[in-house]
Amino acid sequence: MTKYALEIEHLNKTYRNGVRALKDISLNVKDGDLFAFLGPNGAGKSTVIGIITTLVNISSGTVKVYGKDVTKDPEFTKKMIGVVPQEYNLNQFIPIKETMINIGGYFGLTKMQSTYKTQELFEDLGIWHKRDSTPRELSGGMKRRLMIARALIHNPKLLILDEPTAGVDTELRLTMWDFFKKLNNDGVTIILTTHYLEEAERLCKNLAIVHQGELVQNSSMSEVMSSRRKHTYIIRTDSNISNSNVFSGNMKIIDNESCEIVVDNKISITEIINAFNKNNINVLEILSKRNKLEELFIELTQS
């Protein structure tokens, strides 16, 4: 029998101001999964996360974390999950090591246990040297890493990351991806929301997309990849191609030496280059216009 880290059934949320943020959402996240939870701004992702973490009240429906209802047994849920919120919610005035010790205490860890775990997490995330600083003295990337460390102090089984790499430079983002993958390999289920679809595509095994409070896609990443039949490339050549017609009907001229082509998934890059060569045009550069997940995302959220 499949064990689920998260089960959401017919979840609805209407805020007091009348905004219907979630409309009958149902989805499951398997134990051990690295799950992408995607959607444009205001789609309802943070509301779902708020409900899982008990910071937002449910209008109707059920949410279970490791089989227990979050409204009926919130203490169990809170012990099982760690959450990295989208917005910084750090106490700006106390040293970050003290924040960690406090959070550990809220979860029942002694000061010694919290200190030990803090050192381990801070060293893994490269912020141990900043342990005596307050959040005000940290860069954006360091604050993100601190929030990740804070969410992991009690060894949660389910980690919810709400845009954890927003505003983080490329090098650090790659380091964080490795960190998430390692955590997932160690058995932590991860739910990731992100606007960097490449991040979701690289890291996640399954995904859900919400749009205007509704679930519009829920499948495995491999299904998404194989379902995309067309692919768009940008080609840069060494010749004037404004009057050529290499890929008739599927070619859009960008400038004299560049064009955009839409081809079937089965056509290889070599075949594309050969087609241009046959017309005495050398291909200098070939770029994928957008990744497959991005194509799906735009298709679902702009329809």
Partner 1 sequence: MMKNLYLIQLLTIFRKEFVRWSRIWIQTILPSVITIFLYITIFGNFIGERIGEINDLPYIHFIIPGLIIMPIISNSYMNVVGSFYSGRFQKSIEELFVSPLSTHVILTGYVLGGVSRAFVVGFAVYVVSLAFTDIPIHNMSLAIFLTLLVSVLFSILGFINAAYAKSFDDINIIPTFVLTPLTYLGGTFYSIYDLPETWQSISMFNPIAYMVSAFRYAFIGIEEMNTYSAVYMLFILIFLMYSLAIFILNKGIGVKN
Chain residues binding partner 1 by CB under 8 A are 15, 50, 53-57, 74-76, 78-79, 81, 83, 85, 87-94, 98-99, 101-110, 150
Dihedral of alpha carbons 242, 244, 246, 250, sign: positive
CB closer to partner 1 out of 114 and 194: 114
Q: Compute the least distance from the CB of residue 106 to partner 1, in Å.
A: 4
Q: Which is nearer to partner 1, 147 or 241 (CB)?
A: 147
Q: Given the structure tokens 């246990």, which residue do they identify?
A: 113
Question: Per DSSP, which regions of the chain are E strands?
Answer: 4-14, 20-30, 34-38, 60-65, 68-69, 81-84, 158-162, 189-193, 206-211, 214-220, 230-237, 251-255, 258-264, 283-288
Nearer to partner 1, 83 or 209 (CB): 83
Work out how close the CB of 42 gets to partner 1 at its nearest, in angstroms, rounded to a whole number.
Answer: 14
Choice between 162 and 199, CB closer to partner 1: 162
Q: What six digits make up the tokens of 207? A: 């995904």
Return the number of the residue (140 or 288) whose C-beta is nearest partner 1.
Answer: 140
CB-wise, 56 or 262, nearer to partner 1? Answer: 56
Residue 152 has which token pair?
């992991």
In whole angstroms, the minimum distance from the beta carbon of 51 to partner 1 comes to: 9
Q: CB under 8 Å, gap of 24 or more: what pairs does 18-21 form?
A: 20/213, 21/47, 21/213
Tell me how far, at minimum, the Cβ of 203 lies from partner 1, in Å. 23
Minimum distance, C-beta of residue 103 to partner 1, in the bound complex (Å): 6
Query: Look-up: residue for tokens 């002694």?
Result: 110
DSSP state of 18: S
Residues 6+ apart with CB under 8 A from 41: 195
**23 or 79: whose CB is closer to partner 1?**
79
Residue 175 carries which DSSP code? H
Q: How far is the CB of 52 from partner 1 (least distance, A)?
A: 10
In whole angstroms, how close is the CB of 92 to partner 1 at the nearest point? 6
Cβ neighbours for 227, distance < 8 A, ≥ 6 positions apart: 296
Beta strands in 31-109 (DSSP E): 34-38, 60-65, 68-69, 81-84
